Chains A and B, each alone.
Chain A
Amino acid sequence: MQNKWDIDGHAEAHTVNADTEKLKSDLLTLNMGPQHPATHGVLRVEIKTDSEIVAHAIPHLGYLHRCMEKHSENLDYRGVIPFVDRLDYLASMSMEWTYVAAVEKMLGTEVPRRAELLRILTVELQRIASHLMAFGTYALDLGSFSPFLYAFDEREKILRIFEEVSGARLLYNYIWVGGVWNDWSDEQLQRVGEFCDAFEPETDKYHALVSVNKIFVQRTADVGILSVQDCFDYGATGPVLRGSGYNWDLRKNMPYSLYPEFEFNVPVGTGEYGTIGDCWNRYIVRMLEVKESLKIIRQVLKKLEPGPVMGKVPKVLKLPKGEVYVRQECPRGELGIHLISEGGDSKEPYRLKVKSPCFTHVSMLPLMAPGQMVADFVATIGSIDIVLGEVDR
């Protein structure tokens, strides 16, 4: 089979033969190994390059595989929540809420209004923290160090708020079946409001520092272009799909919880710099989503009223026989939880499957890589914003 990467003239070498296969030395195998500062975790990508241009990129996963799906078959439903936290550890609140929503759907529990509003508040704050992390590390991958520190300074404020409310900075175990664990005091809510006011001008600063910067634009515009049909074929969701121009956000299109009460826009890549579907547009979708999350948080703070934060849930959770598939919009895409229960007396899930958005996005790397330069490939990996805890589970 002749492909454009073969050296011209080696007609004999095209017979399939183990010895002649070894002679094909025109592609350099570059291992972007599991330990790498730009792979956002332990991702190994085997890149075959022809000088600087990538010919194939083969991701090898499984370095963080902990088989939490098997572990959850031996844990009761409340005990799974710390495990679900550790999937996408940078957006734990979203992971917890999706799993708890699946359990609550099967039980039919009523969640008090204050608990739902607090869940939305924490998940939107978590979305800001997660996008700040994505922004900071993306700028770091491309060579700039200051935006990383500015983003982490703001993220630190959010994590300290979370530590006061739930007790932990990253793996919260806060959203429980039936409500949330702890209530927020008025003083903590006021500090969230102050944080929003102080943070809004920072987003403009990031825009001026990074988004319109000529170097950043040149490295990310027209790089890693994904068409909408590619996104549908591969199952991309979240900022990756919206960066390609398709307006699809589960909070608006298949709303859950109290999201219909809130007014916010869904940012979509418009091709202001570069083409629609490239790394720059995926990046700007995340930056604009941060502003929308601030809008939602302000509306939540206005709507909050005193009340209980935990509904009536039996002490031992026993779910009916059957299954549910629940999807929610997490910062990195659409998380799906497929929960199957055996019914009867069983206190553990029969099967818990986590459909992870980052897993589907990693499968798009072999599609986007060919034809790019190795430096562009680094920009592509950063733009799809993967967290290996979620990819490998």
Chain B
Amino acid sequence: MLDTIAAAINAAVPGANAQVLTPEDAKLDSSVLVEALHIHAVAAHLKNSGTMNVLQCITGVDYVDYLEVVYVMAKFDPAAPAQLLLKVRLTDRENGALASIVDIYPAANFQERECWDMLGVRFNNHPDHRRILCPDDWEGFPLRKDYVAAKDYRGMQVYPEGKMNMGDREFIVRQDMIKKAQEAAAGKVQ
């Protein structure tokens, strides 16, 4: 079924390069990967053709080389219920941006704000582009793999010494990912 959706997307939006990603294990979910530049056209096609009428969720994952934004869509039709995981990959971690689909699916409003808050993915033309769950002046994007929480926030200690067992409470930071990010930054500077 995902093949028909991918074929329809490719027919309607040239350049979208929709491909079906099928995992080897049959128990796991397949998804459709499209080009980041065409997400708005793809979403418009999915809504107008009636393939998927509800946007349930926009999540993001930080695979170190790229950020992946997953749009979980569903069709609420008792005759033919369906579900689609639409993926987009962004290689630019600093300034990666996607077109906002708020004008097509109003549900995207809060979901895109959360994606910005947690992963730092910008959405162009979003009406209210600010953090939603973290405080407005929080620094850093928590769900990135190289995120290290700041030691204090507005004078309050994030992990006060006397209150918690410090060795256990630090988020485990993967050293190779920080190193990679630093190398990438060093490579750019040079």
At the interface, yes or no: A353 with Cβ under 8 Å from chain B? yes
Separation of A248 and B109 alpha carbons in the complex (Å)? 23
Contact check, A247 vs B78: say whether CB atoms are below 8 A apart. yes
Partner of A70, one of B76, B85, B110, B142: B142
| B51 nearest CB across to chain A (Å) | 13
At the interface, yes or no: B25 with Cβ under 8 Å from chain A? yes
Partner of A360, one of B110, B118, B131: B110
Contact check, A61 vs B133: say whether CB atoms are below 8 A apart. yes
| B159 nearest CB across to chain A (Å) | 14
- Closest residue to B29 on the A side, CB-wise? A324
| A83 nearest CB across to chain B (Å) | 15
Query: Of residues B31, B133, B147, which shows the largest number of chain A Cβ atoms within 10 Å of its Cβ?
Result: B133
Given A360-B110, A362-B110, verify A322-B25 contact (CB < 8 Å). Answer: yes
Contact check, A363 vs B110: say whether CB atoms are below 8 A apart. yes
At the interface, yes or no: A272 with Cβ under 8 Å from chain B? no
Q: Which residues of A contact B10 (CB under 8 A)?
A: none
Contact check, A234 vs B23: say whether CB atoms are below 8 A apart. no
At the interface, yes or no: B1 with Cβ under 8 Å from chain A? no
Separation of A350 and B172 alpha carbons in the complex (Å)? 13
Query: Of residues A106, A235, A355, A360, which shows the largest number of chain B Cβ atoms within 10 Å of its Cβ?
Result: A235
Tally of contact residues, A, Cβ under 8 A: 42
Partner of B28, one of A67, A69, A323: A323
One digit per residue, 1 when the CB lies within 8 angstroms of any chain A CB and 0 when it does not, for chain B 56-82 equals 110101100000001010101010010
Separation of A72 and B38 alpha carbons in the complex (Å)? 33
Q: Which residues of A contact B153 (CB under 8 A)?
A: none
Contact check, B61 vs A351: say whether CB atoms are below 8 A apart. yes
Given A61-B132, A232-B54, A340-B61, verify A253-B143 contact (CB < 8 Å). Answer: no
Q: Which residues of A contact B132 (CB under 8 A)?
A: 61-62
- Closest residue to A246 on the B side, CB-wise? B76
- Closest residue to B85 on the A side, CB-wise? A325
Given A325-B83, A353-B57, verify A320-B25 contact (CB < 8 Å). Answer: yes
At the interface, yes or no: A392 with Cβ under 8 Å from chain B? yes
Separation of A65 and B25 alpha carbons in the complex (Å)? 35
Interface residues of A in 68-126 (CB under 8 A from B): 69-70, 74, 105-106, 108
Q: Which residues of B contact A324 (CB under 8 A)?
A: 27-29
Contact check, B106 vs A233: say whether CB atoms are below 8 A apart. yes
Separation of A28 and B155 alpha carbons in the complex (Å)? 32
Q: Which residues of A contact B114 (CB under 8 A)?
A: 359
Separation of A232 and B78 alpha carbons in the complex (Å)? 14
**Interface range, B side:** 35 or more
Given A105-B27, A353-B59, verify A233-B107 contact (CB < 8 Å). Answer: yes
Contact check, A338 vs B70: say whether CB atoms are below 8 A apart. yes
One digit per residue, 1 when the CB lies within 8 angstroms of any chain B CB and 0 when it does not, for chain A 322-341 equals 11110100000010101010
At the interface, yes or no: A321 with Cβ under 8 Å from chain B? yes
Partner of B81, one of A233, A254, A321, A338: A254
- Closest residue to A250 on the B side, CB-wise? B81
Separation of A351 and B85 alpha carbons in the complex (Å)? 15
| B102 nearest CB across to chain A (Å) | 10
Partner of A320, one of B28, B78, B143: B28
| A103 nearest CB across to chain B (Å) | 11
Interface residues of B in 141-190 (CB under 8 A from A): 142-143, 147, 171-172
Separation of A355 and B83 alpha carbons in the complex (Å)? 14
Interface residues of A in 339-393 (CB under 8 A from B): 340, 350-351, 353, 355, 359-360, 362-363, 367, 392-393
- Closest residue to B135 on the A side, CB-wise? A62
Separation of A294 and B143 alpha carbons in the complex (Å)? 41
| A33 nearest CB across to chain B (Å) | 16
- Closest residue to B72 on the A side, CB-wise? A325
Partner of B27, one of A65, A108, A234: A108
At the interface, yes or no: B55 with Cβ under 8 Å from chain A? yes
Separation of A323 and B106 alpha carbons in the complex (Å)? 26
Q: Which residues of A contact B105 (CB under 8 A)?
A: 233, 235
Q: Which residues of B contact A336 (CB under 8 A)?
A: 56-57, 72
At the interface, yes or no: B7 with Cβ under 8 Å from chain A? no
Contact check, A360 vs B72: say whether CB atoms are below 8 A apart. no
Besides the known contacts A322-B29, A336-B56, A393-B133, 13 further A-B residue pairs in the complex with CB atoms under 8 A apart: A61-B133, A62-B132, A232-B54, A232-B76, A233-B106, A324-B28, A325-B29, A338-B70, A340-B61, A351-B62, A355-B59, A360-B107, A392-B133
A-B contact pairs, 11 of them (CB 8 A): A62-B134, A70-B147, A108-B27, A233-B105, A241-B76, A322-B29, A325-B85, A327-B74, A336-B72, A351-B62, A359-B114
Top 5 A-B pairs ranked by shortest CB distance?
A322-B28, A235-B107, A355-B57, A353-B59, A363-B110
Using a CB–CB cutoff of 8 Å, the interface residues on chain A facing chain B are: 61-62, 65, 67, 69-70, 74, 105-106, 108, 232-235, 241, 246-248, 253-254, 320-325, 327, 334, 336, 338, 340, 350-351, 353, 355, 359-360, 362-363, 367, 392-393
